[in-house]
Amino acid sequence: MSATQPQPMARPDREVVHITAEETHPVRLAVLRADTPTKEVAFPEDHAPGAVHLGVRVDGTLVATSTWIPRDAPDGTSPAVQLRGMATAGHLQGTGIGALLIAAGRDHARSIGAAVVWANARDRALAFYEREGFTVVGDGFVDATTQLPHHVVVSRL
């Protein structure tokens, strides 16, 4: 998010928290595996060196997850951080929780010296990423795990 855009409004009942890879599983299953051929919720990179899992708790309940993995961008930009597993519980989508996670993940990526944050984004979510300041790059592709159309999105830090 650029300095000219308003930051997501902080609300006392919404807390960005560090969580474990395993704590991401229920939200990943409900949100990211609802309509996919696989129900696998673990990612191979979940325990990669430097991988960080950020979530949002609303009144103590975990309602959103994201995973931030040190990994060069597809164009070779390094150091970089890949965002995976971005998900907000259905009943709270569109209420600013995803924006909170993007802001927190960007702060984390900056803190480890990353030049960019990037993701393989579902086409369905591209408008969200563009709204959050990401740029869509390259041709679309079908992700092997989900069988859904995707594009790479990149945000310079």
Interface with ligand COA (CB under 6 A): 31-32, 86-88, 93-99, 121-122, 124-125, 127-128, 131
Nearest residue (CB) to ligand COA, 32 versus 116:
32
Render 91-155 in DSSP notation, one character per residue. Answer: GGTTSSHHHHHHHHHHHHHHHTT-SEEEEEEEGGGHHHHHHTT-EEEEEEEE-TTT--EEEEEEE
Nearest residue (CB) to ligand COA, 3 versus 127:
127
Q: Which residue is nearest to ligand COA (CB)?
A: 98
As a whole number of Å, the CA-based R_g of the chain is: 15
Nearest residue (CB) to ligand COA, 113 versus 131:
131
Nearest residue (CB) to ligand COA, 110 versus 124:
124
Give least dist CB 115 to ligand COA, A: 21
Nearest residue (CB) to ligand COA, 49 versus 127:
127
Give least dist CB 96 to ligand COA, A: 4
Which amino acid is present at 42? A
HSE, side-chain direction, 13 A CA sphere, residue 72 = 5
CA distance 57 to 21: 15
CA distance 17 to 61: 11
Backbone CA torsion sign across 111, 31, 71, 5: negative
